[in-house]
């Protein structure tokens, strides 16, 4: 699971010009990364961080549809349809993140963006947006308490499995049982 991503701003802008739909119902486009300082598809060196990408609802009251937009467009160059910058660039974060992180599709194994849509503060829904398989609802590791801490401690423990105190602290950490179940289902090769 990659949480911090840098996509090509030029390719994202091009894809966002035509995308419209509904969060976690219409797959967001897969975007090329900026790697080694350039986009492999178009050669651009301009990037946009995944945490800058948001859904914007279009319409009065209930939305007619949604579009994708980079909230840093004013500072770093347009990415998405123009005219949707808000005085508060964090305004649209309340709806979640269309590009929360990337993970492997459980069906075809392709790398795909995972979206989080927050319809209201108590209702977060995650969906994998596979270009081959479509929308797949997923249980996100971000919903598991201490997921990153347990993962980090587990990797340290794998380097020295004789450290019983670290092993015990891992299994006694809140969220361990959910973490283990998630790992068994999604990344079994990383478990002993």
Q: Is the pLDDT of residue 188 over 90?
A: no
What mean pLDDT do residues 159-183 have?
88
Query: Are 179 and 151 within 8 A, CB to CB?
Result: yes
**pLDDT the model gives residue 27:** 95
Answer positive or negative: Cα dihedral of 154, 157, 161, 163. Answer: negative
Query: Are 139 and 130 within 8 A, CB to CB?
Result: no
Spatial CB neighbours of 58, under 8 Å, sequence gap ≥ 6: 20, 64, 65, 66, 67
Give residue 127's Cα distance to chain centre.
Answer: 9
Q: Is the pLDDT of residue 133 over 70?
A: yes
Whole-number average pLDDT of the chain: 88
Is the pLDDT higher at 11 or at 160?
A: 11
**pLDDT the model gives residue 162:** 85
* Dihedrals phi, psi of 127, to nearest 5 degrees: -145, 135
What mean pLDDT do residues 57-73 have?
83
pLDDT in tens, 77-88: 888 888 766 677
**pLDDT the model gives residue 86:** 66
Buried b (16+ CB within 10 A) or exposed e, 121-153: eeeeebbbbbeeeebbebebbeebebbeebbeb
Q: Is the pLDDT of residue 102 over 70?
A: yes
Answer positive or negative: Cα dihedral of 44, 45, 50, 56. Answer: negative
Give residue 3's Cα distance to chain centre.
Answer: 6
Is the pLDDT higher at 191 or at 86?
A: 191
Is the pLDDT higher at 24 or at 91?
A: 24
CA distance 152 to 150: 5
What mean pLDDT do residues 123-134 have?
91
**pLDDT the model gives residue 1:** 66
Query: Are 83 and 69 within 8 A, CB to CB?
Result: no
Separation in Å, CA 128 to CA 46, 63, 88: 25, 22, 28
* Dihedrals phi, psi of 30, to nearest 5 degrees: -75, 135
Percent of the chain whose pLDDT exceeds 90: 48
User: What DSSP state is assigned to residue 86?
Assistant: -
CA distance 37 to 61: 42
**pLDDT the model gives residue 4:** 87
Query: How many residues does the structure list for the chain?
Result: 192
What mean pLDDT do residues 123-133 have?
91
> Domain locations in the chain?
6-139, 147-190
């Amino acid at each position: 699971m990659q949480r911090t991503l840098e996509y090509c701003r030029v390719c994202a802008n091009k894809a966002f010009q035509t995308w419209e739909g509904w969060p976690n119902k219409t797959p967001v486009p897969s975007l090329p990364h900026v790697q080694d300082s350039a986009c492999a598809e178009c050669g651009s060196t301009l990037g946009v961080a995944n945490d800058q990408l948001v859904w914007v609802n279009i319409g009065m009251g209930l939305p007619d549809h949604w579009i994708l937009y980079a909230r840093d467009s004013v500072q770093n160059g347009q990415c998405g349809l123009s005219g949707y910058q808000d005085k508060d660039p964090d305004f649209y974060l309340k709806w979640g993140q269309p590009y929360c992180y990337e993970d492997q599709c459980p069906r075809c194994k392709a790398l795909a963006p995972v979206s989080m849509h927050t319809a209201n503060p108590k209702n977060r829904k995650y969906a994998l947006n596979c270009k081959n398989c479509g929308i797949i609802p997923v249980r996100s590791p971000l919903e598991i308490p201490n997921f990153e801490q347990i993962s980090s401690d587990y990797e340290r423990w794998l380097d020295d499995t004789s450290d019983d105190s670290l092993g015990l602290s891992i299994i006694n950490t809140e969220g361990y049982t959910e973490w283990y179940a998630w790992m068994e289902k999604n990344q079994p090769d990383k478990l002993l």
